[in-house]
Amino acid sequence: MVARYPDCSMRPVAVIGLGKTPFGAFPDRDLRSLAVEAGSKCLENGQVKASQVEAFYLGNFAGPAFVGQNHLAPYIGQGLGFDGIPATRFEAACASGGTAFFHAWAAVAAGIYDLVLVTGVEKMTSQTTPRVAEILASAGDVAGEMKAGATFPALFAMIARRHMHDFGTRREDLAAVAVKNHANGARNPYAHMRKVITIQQALAGKPVADPLTVYDCSLVSDGAAAVLLAPLERAAEFTSKPVRIAAVAQTSDRFALDQKDDITTFPAVRRAAEQAYKMAGVGPRDIEFAELHDCFTIAEIVALEDLGFAPRGQGGRYTSEGCTLPSGPLPVNASGGLKAKGHPVGATGVGQICDLALQIRGEAGEMQLPRHELGLAENLGGSGASAVVTILRAA
């Protein structure tokens, strides 16, 4: 809708505050304490009091299944000190955080609210690994794929195999994604896994679903992230380093793999990217760095192609040639990505926005990139049924 019409009368919007918890396994933390920590840090960073916030949007995939708590937005909002304001939870599988961010942007851009807090959170490690896999699989086709025994590692393994068959993508190309993201994550003090690995280690990893090994799969994590949005015209009231939301677009696509014409591409990502590029008035070559949804290594490779960064079928080669390294022409997942930073599902999309904003502000520490004024985030839900693409730039 809005994203297709960059000349419509929407207010420019800025990120004026951000906050994160580390991502990892925290047996002594509950879901609300994680969300409240990230949200409180964000309010402090944006120099805004809880009483000034006009709406609270929460990205969360499966809090009821993971921790047994429903009605999560007011539950967390109360912990943040909110009283009487709208508090709404958004669920779009792994794109829940990006979806909450999209709707918060739309509300501020439309003039409905001036100050909106967006928080993403997930507490996943409270369940056993088989139960976590079952909960995650519910983001797919329960009556079809899940009934047949498919989990997301199996689905993305099929995507990887088909990509290999159609385009000659190699196991070494998948491993190159893992090696690069682990090296990046080792420089991120908030990352779940700060462990450098080699190509040989990645190739020899424990098999999960052929051709994917444990090094091709993102981590089961706990964590939260938050951003505070305001009209760009008011941003200077709160921060000297506002980050402009140049574009954000949310789209959807067919739900199950067997419903897709081609499983080596995600049409929702392509459509969201087209809308976001049009809205921002830029193209793929203008983007200086990106945070991409590498739930599996093949997902980063496909995203490179769908976003226009690499030619169709060449995302693997593009990675293996070093193009996505911090020193390459398009640094991808300088944070470590989902692969090393961690993947607390509801927090992932908001965490990507935080990492873009930190780069643009020049506050990314050891992760800081030399070119950091225009960044893109891609947040994927399920096996491509939901997608959110966001472009941020220096204000």
pLDDT per residue as tens digits for the range 301-336: 999 999 999 999 999 999 999 999 999 999 999 999
CA distance 136 to 134: 5
pLDDT at site 147: 86
Q: Can you name the residues that pair with 375 across neighbouring β-strands?
A: 289, 392
pLDDT at site 146: 85
- Do 184 and 233 lie in one domain? The reply is no
Residue range 201-219: mean pLDDT, rounded: 97
Average pLDDT, the chain: 96
- CB-side exposure of 193: number of CA atoms within 13 Å? 23
- Do 53 and 166 lie in one domain? The reply is no
pLDDT at site 3: 42
Do residues 380 and 348 lie in contact, with contact meaning Cβ atoms separated by under 8 Å? no
- Do 182 and 229 lie in one domain? The reply is no
Active site residue 343: yes
Residue range 184-203: mean pLDDT, rounded: 97
Does this model's pTM top 0.85?
yes
- Do 10 and 151 lie in one domain? The reply is no
- Do 79 and 191 lie in one domain? The reply is no
Neighbouring residues of 285: CB distance < 8 A, sequence distance ≥ 6: none
- Do 153 and 289 lie in one domain? The reply is yes
- Do 368 and 336 lie in one domain? The reply is yes
What total number of domains does the chain contain? Answer: 2
- Do 228 and 256 lie in one domain? The reply is no
Examine residue 86 and say whether the peptide bond preceding it is cis (omega within 30 degrees of 0).
Answer: no
Condensed to tens digits (0 to 9), the pLDDT of residues 81-131 reads: 999 999 999 999 999 999 999 999 999 999 999 999 999 999 999 999 999
- Do 252 and 230 lie in one domain? The reply is no
Do residues 329 and 289 lie in contact, with contact meaning Cβ atoms separated by under 8 Å? no
Active site residue 8: no
Phi and psi at residue 364, to the nearest 5° = -90, 5
Q: What is the CA radius of gyration of the chain?
A: 19
- Do 7 and 114 lie in one domain? The reply is yes
Which one is catalytic: 163, 182, 192, 343? 343
Residue range 145-152: mean pLDDT, rounded: 88
Which one is catalytic: 94, 217, 323, 354? 94
Neighbouring residues of 231: CB distance < 8 A, sequence distance ≥ 6: 11, 12, 13, 14, 108, 114
DSSP state at residue 236 = G
- Do 316 and 365 lie in one domain? The reply is yes
Domain boundary among 181, 209, 243: 243
Residue range 134-160: mean pLDDT, rounded: 92
pLDDT at site 1: 37
Give the domain CATH number at 367. Answer: 3.40.47.10
pLDDT at site 150: 87
Expressed as residue numbers, the domain containing 184 is: 132-218+246-394
- Do 61 and 138 lie in one domain? The reply is no
